[in-house]
Structure 1
Amino acid sequence: MKARLEAYAIEAGFASMGICRPDAVPELPDRLRTFIDAGMHGQMGWLADRMHWRADPAALWPEAKSVIMLAETYTPQHDPMAVLAEPDRAAISVYAQNKDYHDVVKKRLKKVGRWLIEQAPEAEIKVFVDTAPVMEKPLAQAAGLGWQGKHTNLLSRDLGNWFFLGAIFTTLDFEPDAPQVSHCGSCTACLDVCPTGAFPLPYRLDARRCISYLTIEHRGPVDPDLRARMGNRIYGCDDCLAVCPWNKFAVAGRDARLAARDDLIAPPLAELAALDDAGFRARFSGSPIKRIGRDRFVRNVAYAIGNSGDPRLIAAVSPLLDDPDPAVADAAHWAMSRLKED
């Protein structure tokens, strides 16, 4: 059954599969508690609120006996760091350059889950894709899919680090796979490249300094010192992923819905700054970017304009000086002062 399940999962579009027990990572509660107690989760209160489930997958669904972890690749076909040399254009994280992966991966998980129930009608399943209190990365390491690198993302010797994770909890009792161990060695490329110094130690991330957190999860104005380091990154950051040497083994993505849209690889900042709420919703319909809303998005665009050093963008940021959203207006004034200095 396990071999046939893996064959079907690969046929359905996943790149890799592994299985672990729900209690395969007994150190999870202590690791998560250390992270929360240090305040490194920032404004992500939901991490603390549901910590009893997140720290103990067995408590999330006590009847589950196996966790099937699946990887789906989204490897970019372009250099994701090339846009950083174009300060008048926006850098958008690769994973957000097309359809929302939550929808794409969840549909594929359900397809695999339906097949499993057809083979074993007595089975019960629950599927999760990054929206439930599930620690996917530690579970994926326990299931042998890869290991959490020094940048805390999952790495694989077969896939690199450009892949999404999905989980199927089931009442079926599968033989677990052997867990992976770290193969990072002495490499510190991911730590060294971080623009904001978000890694106080290898394998530890302080989300409060991470550009992905700042552009997506953080509400209100960003600390001036950090916004100056964000460059033209307006939604997420791929630097630590992009420099990983294990990407020489990266596997091309198979789903066209996860391939980058041409208009989102390096869009002009001036164009994005002009988006009102309706324009924002239309442009990012079906995209994960839509979740943060127009105001937070345009706030990020204004920071990028302030970091551009390009006085031609004064015309683009000027209309935002009186924006109804206080964080957008603050970002616009900051950008204007930076551009006038230049």
Structure 2
Amino acid sequence: MPRRTSGDRAPSQVDVARVAGVSTQTVSRVIAGQANVRPETAHRVMAAVEATGYRLHAAAASLASGRTRMLGVISVSTARYSTSAILLGVEAVAAQEGYAVTSASVPQHSPPSAFVEAFDRLERQGAEGIVLLAPVGFLPDALGNRTDRTPTVGHRQADGQGVDALINQRAIARAATEHLLDLGHETVWHVSGDEFWQESVARREEWEQVLRERGITPPPVIPGDWSPESGYRAGRTIAVIPGVTAVFVSSDEMAFGMVRALHEAGRSVPGDVSVVSVDDIALAAFATPALTTVRQPFEQVGRTAAERVIALIEEREPLTTTPVAPELIVRASAAPPRTAD
């Protein structure tokens, strides 16, 4: 490969050492996370890293090309099916393009600093680009200029090309709510996902909007956290509220728990209560009754995210994200109310 000229070379540890006023050995120890460095010195070195834009590539230093061909993925550690399905898409594209994948998970409800630490850790491991599978609103501000030095694809981006642009969450909620109303239900209740997630907020807001467009005052939201257990608790609540005939549940996994609770309370689905959920995971078709749900193309989200971040790394023509229209999968869990003609 042609050698870089002094005017366009990448920042090195020598540059970091000069800005921080320390030796290159000290810079190496800080970057390696060794404990035998005073905290104030480590802080000065990391500030110099930020100032110079040095890419923390531990592996790249040993490569003549300066490349690691590694993608980093930051996700929130939950048991949700969606995370693993999206990661499959990332890994498929990475393998096709000759990249490896390293990941870091952050506990749910973590503060912004936890995501920053995960980002920095992936950089130190040599990630040339990072995919953020964490649709939470504070990330762009928390990460600061890190996304300038390391190509990053997140859920929400200023150019409108984040991976969230692939799926219109409001359209998902509209499809589910309108389906139940069009079946003849007078109103639709809602079991929300964890509002730590932007997708949950978007679905709740659109559910409310659809009801208000029909002249219906939205009933109280029943909170969930994506888990079957929270769906079960919501189902026990729904079972004792008179007049509930239709529920929009924000994930299939919560819907499984809800249907179980309604069954135990002697309420049939869809005879007494119709249920429409979101995701269309593999088990949805085999539930009893089979779930009517709005499909999300999780693997395609992962593929698109990986394709876009690799394009940024390799300075290819930017990819345009084409939104996928939500698809309502009609099965057996929703029907007209018994009072309807």
Instruction: Say yes or no: TM over 0.5.
Output: no
- TM-score category, normalised to shorter length: under 0.3
Superposition TM-score, scaled by structure 2 size: 0.23
Higher relative contact order (CA 8 A, sep 6+): 1
Superposition TM-score, scaled by structure 1 size: 0.23
